[in-house]
Amino acid sequence: MQADFVIVGAGSAGCAMAYRLSEAGASVIVIEHGGTDAGPLIQMPAALSYPMNMKRYDWGYSSEPEPHLGGRRLACPRGKVIGGSSSINGMVYVRGHAMDFDHWAEQGAEGWSYADVLPYYKRMENWHDGGHGGDPAWRGTDGPLHVSRGARQNPLFKAFVQAGIEAGYQATDDYNGHKQEGFGPMEQTVWRGRRWSAANAYLRPALKRDNCTLVNGLAQRVIFEGRRARGVEILQGGKTKVIHAAREVVLAASSINSPKLLMLSGVGPAGHLAEQGVDVIADRPGVGQNLQDHLELYLQMASKQPITLYRYWNLFSKAVIGAQWLFTKTGMGSSNQFESAAFIRSKAGVPYPDVQYHFLPIAVRYDGKVAAEGHGFQAHVGPMRSKSRGSVTLASPDPAEAPKITFNYMSHADDWEDFRRCIRLTREIFAQDAFKPFVKHEIQPGAAVQSDDALNDFISEHVESAYHPCGTCRMGRADDPQAVVDPQARVIGVEGLRVADSSIFPRITNGNLNAPSIMVGEKVSDHLLGKDTLARSNDRAWIHPDWQTAQR
């Protein structure tokens, strides 16, 4: 089996590359360990809590006991299915803030500033505002990835935005356009009532071409000839096979599995590889380091009115919603229910938003457990730019064994202060007049939890990953000893090998990571093909004029 390009991982970036490379006439083989994404649990947006908790679709990773969270192990789901994590995620679409990408460029990822990446966001999008306003000039309308907005029929969605305005924050009708900062509608990768994953958007059309093939198997290592990558060894049905790459091998296996594969292949911190009995091909101390994530909490309020989604939280209603969705792709099943959002700055002197809100008109946990109070609603909130850093390392040289994942969450003192501020700012929003008809009392943390110590205890016990791991194969200058890939995503120190997924992010972006992961696949495709990158954009994003002196 041979192709020009061998891509490991049919996830967000891998699917985009398969589409663009095959479109250009190159032959592509995509290796994916997971199986099909057929069936209502993945395709129905409202069923989103199911696939991320199913062994069939998830690698099932969890962190090592986290030292700053009382030894808790936090779940780290990664998609093991075509479409990767875009097939099991919450379908929230956030590009990230312009200043995130300008920071990447400053850190040595030249050619990845906002002016460079905005054209790729436009190329990948097929944006539908649904009559809700927005910034058409900033959006793409003929890309493979459909981006839409929920109907926002529940009055709580409007109340959340109105409360933000009453509290003195900005409104924005398109956080993916000119102005991220503010309260407004949330965008989702949903189209005609179905999850519009990278598999639906990119991989299925690519596989219709003769030059794109999907191979099922577990990638075990990259095969090198000297320092040049020549292929990928896979385990398929108990047998070891090699898939050969005539041009290049690309790892797009996630911020957990891409560094693991590099290390199994002899690219990584030499001391660690030697301990594991792996022969060193290139000593890259940054492989597996710089692991980042977003943590979040949800603040839950009991509702005075029986208007929340709790009224559908019974078998009969779920059956009706499921049937309506199966036959018509409409109704409650056709949205992820995250339909209002906000991005705010936590304090004066922060130039662009560092706090994100997802608002949900039901009080429920990610594992599907509903609040005892019944009718309620919640805001998911967390700081966007934690200073804590963790690592992914090998547990053993056996490719079938999960790597060791230590996020080192909340290891920086600022994280605690940031989280307490998030809780207090959220309480203030829920105390606005817009919520007066709806708020009965605070379920979680509860009105009694006020002091710094009490809030810290609550944070330690209840904080959860937002499932945005990244940064473990950081992009930077070729002479940067901690960088793993150069600005064209080439692995430094070897030839014919690139990494293209969220692991190359120098720093985590502001918001959910699916959109920037797909953008990476789009842009790296042009580097792989040796094409000129798209012309830079001259658009300037909105920055609050008083950011130095005002929080809102």
Which residues belong to the active site?
468
Please say whether the beta carbons of 215 and 32 come within 8 A. Answer: yes
Q: Which of 302, 319, 363 is nearest to 337 (CA)?
A: 363
Please say whether the beta carbons of 202 and 144 come within 8 A. Answer: yes
Rg of the chain in Å (alpha carbons): 22
Q: Is 81 annotated as a binding residue?
A: yes
Following DSSP, what letter does each residue of 334-391 receive, concatenated?
GS-S--EEEEE-SSTT--S--EEEEEESS-B-TTSPBPTTSSEEEEEEEES-----BE
Please report which helix (H) or strand (E) contains residue 473, including its range. none
Task: Tell me the H-state helices in 387-513.
Answer: 413-430, 452-462
Q: Is 186 annotated as a binding residue?
A: no
- The residues, ordered by sequence, that sit 6+ positions from 238 with a Cβ below 8 Å of its Cβ are none
Q: Is 92 annotated as a binding residue?
A: yes
Q: What are the two backbone dihedrals, phi and then psi, of residue 113, each rounded to the nearest 5 degrees?
A: -70, 170
Distance CA 342, CA 170 (A): 9
Q: Is 89 annotated as a binding residue?
A: yes
Please say whether the beta carbons of 230 and 244 come within 8 A. Answer: yes
Distance CA 456, CA 454 (A): 5
Please say whether the beta carbons of 136 and 129 come within 8 A. Answer: yes
Measured CA to CA in angstroms, residue 78 lies from 122, 282, 289, 402, 478 at distances of 26, 27, 18, 12, 29
- The residues, ordered by sequence, that sit 6+ positions from 308 with a Cβ below 8 Å of its Cβ are 154, 156, 361, 362, 363, 375, 376, 377
Following DSSP, what letter does each residue of 69-115 receive, concatenated?
GTTBPPEE--B-BTTGGGGTS--B-----HHHHHHHHHTT-TT-SHH
* DSSP 8-class letter at 483: -
Q: Is 90 annotated as a binding residue?
A: yes
Tokens for 243, please give them.
Answer: 């898939």
Q: What are the two backbone dihedrals, phi and then psi, of residue 518, each rounded to the nearest 5 degrees?
A: -65, -40
Distance CA 270, CA 293 (A): 26
Please say whether the beta carbons of 306 and 375 come within 8 A. Answer: yes
Tokens for 113, please give them.
Answer: 């500033």
Following DSSP, what letter does each residue of 263-329 receive, concatenated?
HHTTEE-HHHHHHTTPPPSEE-TTTT-SBB--EEEEEEEEESSS-SGGGG-SHHHHHHHHHHHHHHS
Q: Is-cis flag, bond preceding 445, omega within 30?
A: yes
Measured CA to CA in angstroms, residue 279 lies from 310, 372, 498, 520 at distances of 56, 54, 20, 30
Long-range contacts of 169-172 (CB under 8 A, 24+ apart): 169/342, 169/344, 169/552, 170/544, 170/552, 172/343
Binding site listing for FAD: 81, 89-92
